[in-house]
Amino acid sequence: MKEQLYAMFLSGGLAFAVSAAVGPAAIRALRRLKFGQKILEDGPTWHMSKQNTPTMGGVIFIAGIAAALAAAFVMGLSGDARPAYMLALSLVFGGIGWIDDYTKVKKKRNKGLTALQKLLLQIAAAALFLTVLRVQGYLTPVLRVPFTDFALGLPWGVYLLFSIFVIVGAVNAVNLTDGIDGLCASVTTVVSLFFCAAYAQHALTAPSVFSAAAAGGTLGFLLYNHFPARVFMGDTGSLFLGGAVCAMAFVYDMPLILVPVGVVYIVETLSDIVQVGYYKLSGGKRIFKMAPIHHHFEMCGWSERKIVRVFTLVTAVFCAATLFFG
């Protein structure tokens, strides 16, 4: 246990330190390259003041997380290859986001990867990750339901298809949560800390190194991303974090744990789906003032700071309940 705690604190602390240290230089570089955020016309009009804030800032915490994992490997603290697999999945999704960000802000066009290309890449990355975990003996085709003793064994093919759907959906749910200053990073920091504690409970040292690095990296990024944000993570960062969250859940061998601990991601996504569906079925009526739901609360008069505090607190409560009762 002492070795695991040491590995976690070292990994998290180093990821935080690197993210905090590279942040100012990365922001200057993004400004120099003119990688500024473009606010969509159909987005919140009050966000227009954020126009040209540097985006693609996810490279800040990606650098911190990668540096922490490299240090853990060199020092022999990572234990096995699972952190490398987790980082690889995250990097693939982050790379997909980078292509989208680059074509939007640098090429000033929206002709990067098509929706089908992105979907196929995401499916391929998820399938490869899951297969590697299965072959290495780190994943069982059993769905365990949090807060119950119920477990459903599935044929590997069925489990694989279901899990691919979960990963692709969850990654894009995390991406959707990145809509106001500090929200996605704050929520994901709490989720990462949850997995630190969950891994510690089961003496899973290797994956705990990754989750600690994810928590430290996003916390370091928040130094520059809290309201008013000096930099945005972009799809580069949000898709990377989506991959990281999924990697942590599947290495924990309990993908359904994403339902309670990722409650904010799920509500954000459902609010968008419900809004679009109801709009089409009702001939133009809306349930929410604006979707995703964080924009609804903005239009209700909530400040960005309040939304981030409340959503982060909700995540913390669900994570704590899952840790103690799940």
79 — pLDDT class (breaks 50, 70, 90) = confident
- Percent of the chain residues topping a pLDDT of 90: 83
Q: Taking the chain, what is the end-to-end CA distance rounded to the nearest angstrom? A: 22
Is residue 246 within 8 A of residue 89, CB to CB? The reply is yes
What lies within 8 Å, CB to CB, of 4 at 6+ separation is: 199, 200, 203, 205, 208
What lies within 8 Å, CB to CB, of 167 at 6+ separation is: 122, 126, 129, 130, 243, 246, 250
Is residue 12 within 8 A of residue 68, CB to CB? The reply is yes
Say which residue the tokens 């704590």 belong to.
Answer: 320
Domain coordinates of the chain in residue numbers? 2-258
pLDDT score recorded for residue 237: 98
pLDDT tens for residues 236-295?
Answer: 999 999 999 999 999 999 999 999 999 999 999 999 999 999 999 998 899 999 999 999
pTM for the model? 0.95
* CA dihedral sign, ordered 235, 239, 242, 244: negative
Give me 46's structure tokens: 């009050």
Measure the CA–CA gap between 284 and 42, rounded to whole angstroms.
15
